[in-house]
Amino acid sequence: MKYILANWKMYLNYEESVNLAKQIKSLDTEDNLIIFPSALAFKEIVSMGFETGAQNVSWAPQGAYTGALSAFLYKEVGAKYALVGHSERRYIFGENNEDVRKKVESCFDVGLTPVVCIGETKEDKDESKTQYRIKKQIMKVFDNLDIGNNKIIIAYEPVWAISHGGEGQPCTPADAEDVMGLIKREILEYTDNEIPILYGGSVDEKNVLSYVALEDCSGVLVGSASTKIDSFTEIIKELSDIN
């Protein structure tokens, strides 16, 4: 059984979200499907019986934080997961590794499972700094982190491989395998807990199996293709066939 995370980003309005969820509901999957809808469609998607996660949470639990939505507030309406440190949050909205760490801890405080996104930028890759970037991001998350009974998931998302409006340049499975192996080894420096590692970045129905076949890959984080019912149906079918 694999994880299939559908990150709808800001692609869909309320009505489109509900309609897509209805279509997804009719698909049969034994995999661990988790939907990350917009905040405005969130409760509706929860009420349809889906496992859900927040696309982002603020690290403060409650109070005078205009426009923010905390892990606490998401938990209250049925979220089980939260994306933390997505590259669009890091590089468009300026969040840093310290913010990411505080968000992980705020998820633990209320019992949400953080899905922490890590990955190198195009610049890192061109300057051969992929290992450096990954090790640093992992250190900032796991160093002296009290995991206790909490769960945490890591998503390897090379920033340059993430699609914008549907056009992306996927990472080769061989490159993904190398970095995911590094991630696994690095995490072991900090904890013996079982930490699932997912791949994300231009995953679609044509390449999904090549990622989930990798030894260290527990599933996929899908953006653009998860908002198109034809592609997403195929992704779910491809994964069902290997169960």
Closest distance to ligand PGA from the beta carbon of 159 (Å): 9
CB of 239 within 8 A of CB of 31?
yes
Q: Which of 223, 231, 235, 236 binds ligand PGA (CB under 6 A)?
A: 223
CB of 222 within 8 A of CB of 10?
no
CB nearer to ligand PGA: give 134 or 162: 162
- For 56-102, give the DSSP string: --BSS-SSS-TT--BHHHHHHTT--EEEES-HHHHHTS---HHHHHH
70 binds ligand PGA (CB under 6 A): no
Taking residue 161's Cβ as centre, other Cβ atoms within 10 Å add up to: 24
Please indicate whether residue 157 is annotated as part of the active site: yes
Q: Which of 4, 46, 221, 235 binds ligand PGA (CB under 6 A)?
A: 221
Taking residue 68's Cβ as centre, other Cβ atoms within 10 Å add up to: 14
CB nearer to ligand PGA: give 60 or 229: 229
Residues of this chain, 157-216, that bind ligand PGA according to CB under 6 A:
157, 162-163, 168, 200-203
Which residues are paired to 34 by β-bridges? 5, 51
Closest distance to ligand PGA from the beta carbon of 96 (Å): 18
Which residues of this protein are in contact with ligand PGA, per CB under 6 A?
7, 157, 162-163, 168, 200-203, 221-225
Name the residues annotated as catalytic: 86, 157
